[in-house]
Chains A and B, each alone.
Chain A
Amino acid sequence: MDFDIFVITRNFSLLAEGMLTTLRLTGLALLFGLVWGTILTLARLAPGRLLSALATLYVNGIRAVPLIMVIFWIYFLLPVLSGTQIGPFYSALVAFILFEGAYFSEIIRAGIKSISQGQLRAALSTGMTYLQGMRYVVLPQAFRKMAPVLLTQSIALFQDTSLVYVVGLMDFMTASAMVASRDGRLVELYTFAAFVYLVISLVAASAVRLMEKKFKV
C-alpha cells in the first residue's frame, strides 16, 4: 500500500500553524467562556427573579441547539448586527464563548450547589459578607469539586473547535483536510489528524484522573 508519511513533514509548518489556531481558539474560548459562565451562574443564583429567569432561558436555549448552528449563525449574523466583518476567527471565538458559557454555567452552578448551605451560613455567622463567604469559603471548595468536570468539558471544546471548517477558518482540522485533498493523501492526513487529537485528549484526560484523585473529598 502506498503510504507516504513524509507528506506530513513536508507540510509541517502549515499543519503547525493550524494547530496554533486551534489552541488559540480553545484557550481564548475557555478563558472567556469561564468568565461568561461565571456571570451567567451568578445571574441565575441572584435573588432578582427577572435576571435569574433570563439567564436560565439563555442557558437552556443554547444547550438546546447544535453548536454548528451557533457557529454559522454568529458568522452570518454578527456582520449584519455590527456592520463590520470581524473575520472567521473572531466570529468563531464569539460563537464558542456564547456556547461554552452555557455549559460552564451548568458545571459551576452544580459545583456551588454541592457545597452545603451550612458553610455559607458559618461564614456569614462570623460577620463575612455574602461575597466574602463565596470567595473564601464556598468557591474554593466548589472549584476543587468541579475542576475535573471543567477540564473534561475543555477537552470537548478542544475537539469541537474542528467544526470551524464550516466558516473556512484554517485550524488544525481544516489545514489537514486542505493538504489531504490538495496532495491526494487523504488516508495519511486524516490518520495523522486523528492521532494528534487522540494524544492531546488522552493526555488531558489522564490529567483529569490525577485531579480527581487529588481533590477527592
Chain B
Amino acid sequence: MIKFDKVSKWYGTFQVLSDCTLEVAKGEVIVVCGPSGSGKSTLIKCVNALEPYQSGSLKVEDIEVCGRSTDQRKLRQRIGMVFQNFELYPHLSVLDNLRLAQVKVLKRNISGATDVAMQLLERVGMQAHQAKFPGQLSGGQQQRVAIARALAMNPVAMLFDEPTSALDPEMVSEVLDVMTQLAQQGMTMMCVTHEMGFARRVADRIVFMDGGSIVEEAPAEDFFNAPQSRRAKDFLSMILAH
C-alpha cells in the first residue's frame, strides 16, 4: 500500500534520506527506529507529502506522492498523522478540533461530523472532555484527542511521529494502548518511536535507520533477538540498557 523505491532527499547539499526502499502492506504495523537525526521523521513525512523528496519513487495506493498530477490534498485526507507535540488547535474545543477538517475538507454537515467525533472520542476514552480546550488537558489526553482527530478523516493509514516523546512517563501507556488497539483493528501504521516494548508487542516489522539510510528491516522478533547489523546492535544495547 505504501511503497518507497530508492527515495532520496536533500536539504541543500546535505542528504537526509538516501535510497530508502520499503514496502508496507495493508494492515501492517511498521516501527521505524534509529538514533536521532537518522531521518526517521523525514521518512514518514514523505508519505503525506509534508516533506518533498528529490529522487526515487514513493507510491501510496499506486499513486506517486510527488507526481505532477497528484492531488496532495486528497492524499493527505486519506493518511492520518500524529505529531510529537500533539498540535491540537489551542483556540478550539476538543470537539471542534475533531470537527474542523471534517466540515471544511470533507464537507460533512455539523451533526454528521459531531457523531463521528463523539464516537472517536469514546474510542480513545475522551468523550467526557469534549467541551474542554487543549490547554486544560494533560499531555496524554491531548495526544489521544490528536489520534481521534486524525481518525475522524477515515484514513487508510496512520503516521505517528514520536507520539510519546513529549509525554511524562506515566502518560505513555495510555497513548500506546490506543495505538495498540488501533493496530489490532487492522489499521496500516508507520510509527517512529523509541518505545521498544510497544515495538516488540505490536509491530509486524522493524525498520532501523541510521544516517538517512534504512540499515535493517526485519520482523520484530528477529530484530530484537538477532539484529544483523553492527549499528542496530549498538543502538539496541544503548536503548535497552537503561
Contact = CB atoms under 8 A, between A and B. Distances in A.
A50 to B, nearest CB: 22
A124 interface: yes
Interface in B100-154: 100-101, 104-106, 149-150, 153
Contact of A118 (B74, B83, B149): B83
B105 A128 contact: yes
B175 to A, nearest CB: 17
Nearest to A143: B91
B8 interface: no
Contacts of B80: 125
Nearest to A129: B73
B91 A144 contact: yes
B100 A136 contact: yes
Given A132-B104, A136-B100, A136-B104, A125 B81 contact: yes
A137 B74 contact: no
Interface residues of A, number: 19
Interface residues of B, number: 24
Contacts, number: 59
A124 B164 CA distance: 22
Name A's interface SS.
Answer: helix
A126 B149 contact: yes
A60 interface: no
B76 A124 contact: yes
Nearest to B89: A137
A64 interface: no
A141 B73 CA distance: 23
14 contacts: A121-B87, A122-B89, A123-B101, A125-B48, A125-B50, A125-B150, A126-B76, A126-B100, A126-B101, A127-B77, A128-B105, A132-B105, A137-B89, A217-B90
Given A121-B50, A126-B105, A217-B90, 6 more contacts: A122-B83, A125-B76, A126-B149, A127-B73, A127-B77, A128-B104
The 6 closest A-B pairs by CB, nearest first: A127-B77, A126-B101, A122-B87, A125-B81, A127-B105, A127-B76
Interface of B: 48, 50, 73-74, 76-77, 79-81, 83, 85, 87-91, 100-101, 104-106, 149-150, 153
